Amino acid sequence: MCDTMMLVNDEGCWFAKNSDRDPDEVQLVEWHDTRHVKGLLKTTYVDVDIPATRYAGWLSRPHWMWGAEMGVNEYGVAIGNEAVFTRLINRRSSALLGMDLVRLALEQSRSADEALSVITRYLQQYGQ
């Protein structure tokens, strides 16, 4: 599992995370500009509805997947993916990956509360 840390002091907030993925897997670090396109979006395995505006931000992601291991958006919302094994995996249906949820929340949130709402909404609608 990954290690994630956060430090909050008078000077601000720092977010740090590593990625415990295969050392030979390419991890991309990318800047994505604000986008204004509404409709269906192809995530790693599922097409989802998206709002008209998606916010800009830095993302780190495995090269083969749409979602993000970690990132921070233009509003300072920072999110990192953590593997938590709380239920059996249903391999018979397509659903969102945790990393897809990270990216969807970063692209649609201006605060931690908004990110929680975005993730909850997508989980209810598409599952994980």
If pLDDT is split at 50, 70 and 90, which confidence band does 1 have?
low
| Cβ neighbours around 72 below 10 Å, total | 16
Going by C-alpha positions, the residue among 97, 34, 37 that lies closest to residue 65 is 97
The domain limits of the chain are 18-126
Residue 91: the pLDDT is: 63
SS3 11: coil
Q: 88 vs 14, which has greater pLDDT?
A: 14
* CA 42 to each of CA 25, 45, 64, 87: distance values in angstroms, whole numbers, following the listed order: 22, 7, 13, 25
Residue 97: the pLDDT is: 93
Query: Which has the minimum average pLDDT: 29-43, 51-65, 87-101?
Result: 87-101
Rounded CA separation 11/59 (Å): 24
Measured in whole angstroms, how far is the alpha carbon of residue 72 from the centre of its chain? 9
State yes or no: is 2 an active-site residue: yes
If pLDDT is split at 50, 70 and 90, which confidence band does 48 have?
very high
Sign of CA dihedral 42, 37, 112, 57: positive
- The arithmetic mean of pLDDT across residues 43-51, rounded, is 94
pLDDT at 70 over 80: yes
Q: What is the DSSP letter of 23?
A: T
pLDDT at 117 over 90: yes
Rounded CA separation 75/25 (Å): 29
If pLDDT is split at 50, 70 and 90, which confidence band does 56 have?
very high
Q: Choosing from 1, 2, 12, 70, which is the catalytic residue?
A: 2
